[in-house]
Amino acid sequence: MAGMDGVTEETVRRRPATLRDVARAAGVSVATVSKALNDQGRMTAETRARIREVARVLGFRPNGLAQSLLRNRSFTVGLLTNDTYGRFSLPVMAGISEALVDNGVSVFLCHVEDDPRLGQLHVEAMLDKRVDGIIATGKRIDRRLPVDLSQLGIPVIYAFTEPAPGAIAFVSDDAGGARLAVEHLVRLGRRRIAHVTGPASFAVVHTRADACGAALAAAGLPAGAPLIGTWSESWGHAAVETLLAGLEPPDAVFCGNDQIARGVIDGLRERGIRVPGDVAVVGFDNWEIMAGQTRPPLTSVDMNLAALGREAGLTLLSLVDGKPVEPGIRTLPCRLVVRQSCGRPPGG
């Protein structure tokens, strides 16, 4: 076969084959090889096929660095997070990664903790590598990352972290999630629904508590003050005492997260109160490993973080492609994952 003399699969090279290697082996110019491989220009089908074959045999892969330099586009984005052990940011990341990998985009993961120096370091490293854009994420939506991303000259998207003013951001619809939980309990016939949640310093605590109250009011049910504590199991456990102190103890508890819910369930059980028989419990976060292992398995609000990440990733791509995107905060719906802590499980 002309132009393929001595070229075999066994020809193992240390240095990866370049366009020039292919051109030489195929007896054509580099430009022709480039066109053949990129389906551009005109040439006989036979030539194109032959060049392709030579490239394949040589194991040619285009050098992305060279392509990026030329196109001014690196097919690379940065993901900044301060959530090292990733309860929240990891599902977001998974969604981003999923959305981007099919477009040939790779993601730099950067843990910045809450350290401005570390944030700066990572951002500069990414800028030097000419990332096409940056996504910022975190563990709560009312705290900024320790680094200013608003003047970088490249597109930036915020997902599950507090955005800079006028930026594009994606957050979960916490109010909607709370409504989902309460409406589920109401539908199941519960009438005295309490709310045990985390510290008042978290914006979501108020968002969810307010929505909870509103949903109860809409259903014509009484809404007591939410029980404010910490995001911990031990708080949930301790809160049970307060819950049972009143004249009319609740027949349902909507909890600010799954750990609190778990503590509540444990506390109830220790007092011989059945879940869901006597009291129904709903959690928030749908943290699989917690919600699934609770006895009984916990019905919980899922924030759809992976979907949120996917949207963020796709939107960043639009931005990179120069498409206009309206700034502002987009709120994505939650969903309720029904298990057995409220009675009437899926089959019932």
Interface with DNA (CB under 7 A): 15, 18-20, 27-32, 34-35, 37-38, 40-44, 47, 60-63, 66-67, 69-72
Name residue, tokens 């307060």: 242
Contacts with a second copy in 232-261 (CB under 8 A)?
232-234, 237, 259
* Candidate list 106, 150, 201, 242; residue touching a second copy; CB under 8 A: 106
Q: Which is nearer to DNA, 46 or 248 (CB)?
A: 46
Residue type, 135: I
56 belongs to the binding site for a second copy (CB under 8 A): no
Report, in Å, the least distance between residue 202 CB and a second copy.
17
Tell me, rounded to whole angstroms, the distance of Cα 186 from its chain centroid: 30
The two structure tokens encoding residue 319: 């931005």
- d(CA 263, CA 232) in angstroms, rounded, equals 8
- d(CA 310, CA 304) in angstroms, rounded, equals 10
* Candidate list 32, 82, 97, 300; residue touching a second copy; CB under 8 A: 97
Tell me, rounded to whole angstroms, the distance of Cα 18 from its chain centroid: 38
DSSP structural state of residue 83: -
Q: Which is nearer to a second copy, 129 or 187 (CB)?
A: 129
Name residue, tokens 């109250």: 213
Q: Which is nearer to DNA, 43 or 152 (CB)?
A: 43
* Candidate list 25, 33, 54, 79; residue touching a second copy; CB under 8 A: 79
Tell me, rounded to whole angstroms, the distance of Cα 175 from its chain centroid: 19
Q: Which is nearer to DNA, 70 or 247 (CB)?
A: 70
- d(CA 322, CA 245) in angstroms, rounded, equals 60
* Candidate list 20, 41, 49, 61; residue touching a second copy; CB under 8 A: 61
Report, in Å, the least distance between residue 7 CB and a second copy.
18
